[in-house]
A = this chain, B = another copy of it.
């Protein structure tokens, strides 16, 4: 592995920018390459086979930059595709967004009752309960699939009556189970953090995957003596589509004009 190599981060769309931003803050000397599959977003309502096929195409594209680490900043791919990526690209190191938040949730919970909210694909994969209970069989895990939250965030409706009503609908059953920790299992959800905290009350701790994952990435870089001191601090963001509608939304996830933004045709970039 080469210190000068970039850290590659990818997501189904722009949600992973919340993770990229945190990594950039914690490791300002690192060269960052981001890919968002805006031409095929969202993944959360697609099948495991399709999600894996797309993930392999993307990782194939990213390995062209010979990254020292590939961060799977997408919960659907983290749930369903990590093993496939590791088998196919065994030369590379991967960090996903699920394991770091699980470790944090297990450290935080006192009553061993953990809630998870996510997209239909992430929740249906059952990866969170599976991994958590492998670490500690006494943990109780309660999940809720929340398909409307991504569209709400993309509309910029982070608070207000509609958003609160939708959140209450999704989360009320988890609260009845007396969870004391709630994992935000989608990279869009940190934008709703304040409203979610209002709904669940202060006795429930929220686990934000972007924080946990950025710390995990920093730990990996330091542990393997891979720190870089790259001067030009503007990340390069690749997208498979760049519609006006999404450009506006992107600003909500990472406000700065200091990006290199490029469009690539991901379907043609790598044969699965």
| Chain A residues within CB distance 8 Å of chain B | 38-41, 45-50, 120-121, 124, 147-148, 150-152, 154-155, 157, 161-162, 165-166, 169, 240-246, 267
Which residues of chain B come closer than 8 Å to A240, judged between CB atoms? 50
Q: List 6 A-B contacts (CB under 8 A).
A: A47-B241, A50-B243, A124-B244, A148-B155, A161-B165, A162-B162
4 nearest A-B pairs in the assembled complex, by CB-CB distance: A47-B243, A151-B151, A120-B245, A50-B241
Q: A45-B246, A47-B241, A241-B50 are in contact. Are A154 and B162 (CB under 8 A)?
A: no
Per the bound structure, the CA–CA distance linking A10 and B267 in Å amounts to 21
Which residues of chain B come closer than 8 Å to A154, judged between CB atoms? 45, 147
Per the bound structure, the CA–CA distance linking A123 and B134 in Å amounts to 49
Whether the Cβ atoms of B121 and A245 lie closer than 8 Å is yes
Residue of B nearest to A47 (CB): B243
Name the contact of A243 in the complex, choosing from B38, B121, B151, B166 (C-beta under 8 A).
B121
Kindly provide the distance from the CB of A79 to the nearest chain B CB, expressed in whole angstroms.
Answer: 13
Which residues of chain B come closer than 8 Å to A244, judged between CB atoms? 47, 124
Whether the Cβ atoms of B165 and A245 lie closer than 8 Å is no
Per the bound structure, the CA–CA distance linking A46 and B39 in Å amounts to 6
Per the bound structure, the CA–CA distance linking A103 and B157 in Å amounts to 35
Whether the Cβ atoms of B161 and A152 lie closer than 8 Å is no
Which residues of chain B come closer than 8 Å to A162, judged between CB atoms? 162, 165-166, 169
Residue of B nearest to A152 (CB): B148
Per the bound structure, the CA–CA distance linking A132 and B217 in Å amounts to 55
- Most chain B CB within 10 A, of A48, A121, A155, A165, is at A155
Q: A152-B148, A165-B165 are in contact. Are A245 and B39 (CB under 8 A)?
A: no
Name the contact of A147 in the complex, choosing from B155, B165, B166 (C-beta under 8 A).
B155
Q: A40-B39, A162-B162, A162-B165 are in contact. Are A243 and B45 (CB under 8 A)?
A: yes
